[in-house]
Structure 1
Amino acid sequence: MTDPTAQMGFQVGKSAMMAGHDYVEQNFNRYVNVSALKHYFNVSNSYVLNKLFLVLFPWRHKPWSRQQRLSPNGQEGFFLPPREDINSPDMYIPVMAFVTYILLETLLAGLRGAFHPELLGLTATTAFAVVIIEILGLKFGCYLLSISNESQILDLVAYSGYKFVGIIVTIFLSEVLNGGRGTGGWIGWSIFTYTFLANALFLLRSLKYVLLPENSSDNARGASYTVARAQRNRRTQFLFIYSYVVQLIFMWVLSR
């Protein structure tokens, strides 16, 4: 490092790395709000355990409304992060459940002696395709329902990933209780029916406060607006179709 030529080369390399880092960060931030995403990954171990329990057993949970941190002047401020509010959506559980689903499917195939290298890519592609189709559908639904705030859209994307929790439970329990025969038979269908209904109720109650606010305040960081009656009816229909019909189709495809 005492050689002037080496020092100059080190400085050039360092400058190139910094320039590349800045270029990637600027272009990434152009499409993804990193600061907003950090809110959805602010979780704790206790939150993850309690949220998993809530997703699988939502029947007696109350209340479903999210909590907000009050500003110094006493007015409503920002929503609390997931680690401080069990009703706050997160992206940690959906991402981890997505990865776990892929690994579980390939593991079970290996235990049956049916594993081949292409299966990992095929399973990942199928799951990723379902996620992309659902997100595109959510974006289209947000356009039709006049939902333009980024926080509301990110909430919908986060909630779309919780179905993988129920799918993992369905696949695992069906494999164990069916003696390795998969999700077929009345046992598999019974487990699937329960996890589907639990996920549907969880989404129905959770998304109600995103799409159908009870007061005249937008659930997106305190911006106020009024939901017209016709628009509220459309959002109610969208909420029911998304929670039951759409989730039934996608959960059936992924669990089969």
Structure 2
Amino acid sequence: MEAIKIINYVIMVLFFACYAYQFLYIPIALLKKKKPLPKGKRHRFGVLIAARNEESVLGDLLDSLNTQTYPAELIDIYVVADNCTDRTAAVANAHGAAVFERFDQTHTGKGYALDFLLRKIRKKYDAYLVFDADNLVAPDYIQEINKTFSTGYDIVTSYRNTKNYGDNWISAGYGLWFLREAQYLNRPRASIGASCGVSGTGFLFSARILQKCGGWHFFSLTEDIEFTAHNIVNGEKIGYCPSAVFYDEQPTGFRQSIR
């Protein structure tokens, strides 16, 4: 029994040592003022959405993308209906997105869906934006993230807010976690010139990054962390745009959370 207590204590100390540096970010986040960015050059964006049986929420995301303050002629929206058995493809079509259906039960997951979608796109873009089908984006999202992209960052993550914070304590807990990630990790990291982290959805990568990576080859369960680590070790710096706000739907039950 004593041996188990000692092992648990050692693990606790190691975890604390690994994450203690994050306490230093708190005063930076509280004291460092945000600097307004110039509008910058207007770029052409391809929006990438991987959707699997998302007919009930996809239309809301597409509506929020179709009403951006950024010039509509510089935005093209692409949806991959990935192994869908519902009307996801029809909903995407009805909202003006270019839709590609994918049926592959062997190579499953968001990484494979994004790779498939990028191979289907024939137009050239300055950069790509990635969203999940249950997201909503603020009306000025693309306008704001374009400013950070124009400063020279080829990968940019944004402010992840919560659609359903008030549903219950589980969704609220997720919301607070992502608030901490945005305000007390990514924001201070950006302030001191360090790299930020991509968190699954609501991020930008440039055409140069796609070419440098040789396409989208991030297929693990945590493809966002894989993408982040790959680019940082290869000399890229990931920026953060706090004024580009999107809203993500959080789990409301343990079973949904674990899945």
Q: Provide the TM-score with structure 1 as the length reference.
A: 0.27
Normalized per residue, the structure richer in helix is 1
Q: Which has the higher contact order (CA 8 A, sep 6+)?
A: 2
The TM-score, its normalising length taken from structure 2, stands at: 0.27
* More strand per residue: 2
